[in-house]
Chains A and B, each alone.
Chain A
Amino acid sequence: MARLFEYQGKEFLKDVGIAIPTGGVASTAQEAYEIAAKIGKPVALKAQVWVGGRGKAGAIKFADTPEEAEKAASAILGMEIKGFPVRKVLVEEKLDIEKEYYVGVIPNASWDCRAPVIMFSTEGGMDIEEVPEDKIFRARVDYLKGFPFYDALDLASSAGIPSKLLREMAGVISSVVETFKRRDCNILEINPLVLTREGKVIAGDCRMGIDDSSTFRHPEMGIAIPREFPWEPTDFDMVGWGIEETDFRGSGFVMKMSLDETSPGFIGFHAIGGGAAMIGMDALSRVGLKPANFADTSGNPVASKVYRVAKVVLSQPNIEGYLLAGFLVANQEQWHHAHAIVKALREEIPKRTGFPCVLLLAGNKEEESLQILREGLKDMPGRIEIYGSERVEDSDFIGERMLALVKEYREEKGG
């Protein structure tokens, strides 16, 4: 699910008439100063990251003057929240809060619903999972017919919204449903939906996720990669996406797992299938190594695609080894992997003599595939170990071999 930042989602809410706080997004403290000066009253500064717990992490701050806003932005920008860097900060007018509500739409795939469900609660401002069941009011949305205004009135009324606010709140509920449909969302939440002391209803936050398969219909969203990323895609992620973007012959997915490129212990990680990836990552973490990236070549990709993935994985400057994690037994003919890996390693190993590689490949045409690996890599100046189905369930062994080779490599390099 591709995600939008709060500041992006709020713009789409504004398009359907939902009020949002006056403000703008800043990438520098100076920009934050200018936005705060333009607003001309106390502001809130909020880190734009795709993780929860911003408040507890100190990534939401308040400022009474542009100078204070500049200082607060400086503190927030460059901060890391749960390992994710903050590159943008939303600067917007500080709301004078009377009460906080929650409104959100998510798809419900259960057999008795199979439709989007709108949820509304008078207990906003906290995780919806923490709100007591009797305080959450739900209604099924007919995706084709929409959500009529009278149903929105009914929902708001059920929640006990006072009559003077009823029409306005129902209007917001209807508009949220409309946005969910118009923007092909997989999730849309406003939490909190703020009632100010002046009696205005304003979206205090916005969480918006888009159905990956629909992003081509939304160039206005500027989604670079229609996948769920923990951060804005890096240059590395963009190269990885270039492999998949127009080539649908099996999976060839690559993305960064860590932005840390200085610590030791990172391994170029190349799995064959999601299950194998999980086992492989466990194998590494049990011996204190870390995957620098995630990669998956499954679903019978052509050899050229596997080669591209291996080359991109090996392009990472800080890796101390390469693990082909073919845990579990694949139905795909593995000799295409073998040819691809041989070509990639024959190009890359001579650039880093002694480089550790543990290659685990099992499944259809396994014997032939292992023979290709052994023959094709026999004269390479690396530490290359090749295993087949005899080790496919022995992730401890694979992890330990990777670690042993990494230690030898470090010693050889004098590190």
Chain B
Amino acid sequence: MEFEERTIKVIIDTDKCPNCLSKACIEACKVYSRGILQLNDGKPSVSHLSSEELGRRGTECLACEYECWQRGNNAIYIEIPIKGLDDYLRKRSLK
């Protein structure tokens, strides 16, 4: 499952979620953001929100990814593009 906030993409490998005992991402989303992640069939879901609402309500707090590393099953990855950084690194042979 994946969804976009204003400038980031949250990618969740929900196959790893059913046997996650903590569901820490859901709680983290309430504490650090606006609770856009909700539990649905034992998995995090944003199906109750339109893409517009996700863009508006998501605060890009990165907390779900962190909590999933620490207390979950390492199922979440957040892509945060940085305009021009890849080109900069490539030009300087750092990538």
Interface residues of A, Cβ cutoff 8 Å to B:
235-236, 238-239, 242-243, 245, 247, 302-305, 307-308, 311-312, 315, 317, 335-336, 339-340, 342-343, 372, 375-376
Chain B residue contacts of A305, Cβ below 8 A: 60
Knowing A315-B89, A376-B69, the reply to whether A304 touches B83 (Cβ < 8 A) is no
How many residues does chain B have at the interface if contact means C-beta atoms less than 8 Å apart?
A: 26
Interface residues of B, Cβ cutoff 8 Å to A:
5-8, 32, 59-63, 65-66, 69-70, 78, 80, 82-85, 87-89, 91-92, 94
Q: How far apart are the CA atoms of A381 and B94 in the complex, in Å? A: 20
10 contacts between A and B (CB under 8 A): A235-B88, A243-B82, A303-B60, A311-B80, A311-B82, A336-B61, A339-B32, A340-B62, A343-B78, A375-B70
Contact of B82 among A235, A308, A335 (CB under 8 A): A308
* Contact status A304-B60, CB under 8 Å: yes
The smallest C-beta distance from A344 to any residue of chain B, in angstroms, reads 9
* Contact status A304-B80, CB under 8 Å: yes
* Contact status B88-A302, CB under 8 Å: no
* Contact status B7-A236, CB under 8 Å: no
Chain A residue contacts of B32, Cβ below 8 A: 335-336, 339
Chain B residue contacts of A311, Cβ below 8 A: 80, 82, 85
Contact of B80 among A245, A308, A315, A342 (CB under 8 A): A308
8 more A-B residue pairs beyond the given contacts A317-B92, A339-B63, A376-B66, with a C-beta to C-beta distance below 8 A: A239-B82, A239-B84, A302-B59, A304-B60, A311-B80, A336-B61, A343-B66, A372-B66
Chain A residue contacts of B6, Cβ below 8 A: 247
Chain B residue contacts of A342, Cβ below 8 A: 66
Chain B residue contacts of A372, Cβ below 8 A: 66
Contact of B88 among A239, A245, A336 (CB under 8 A): A239
Contact of A376 among B5, B70, B89 (CB under 8 A): B70
Q: How far apart are the CA atoms of A343 and B80 in the complex, in Å? A: 11
Knowing A307-B80, A343-B65, A376-B70, the reply to whether A315 touches B88 (Cβ < 8 A) is yes
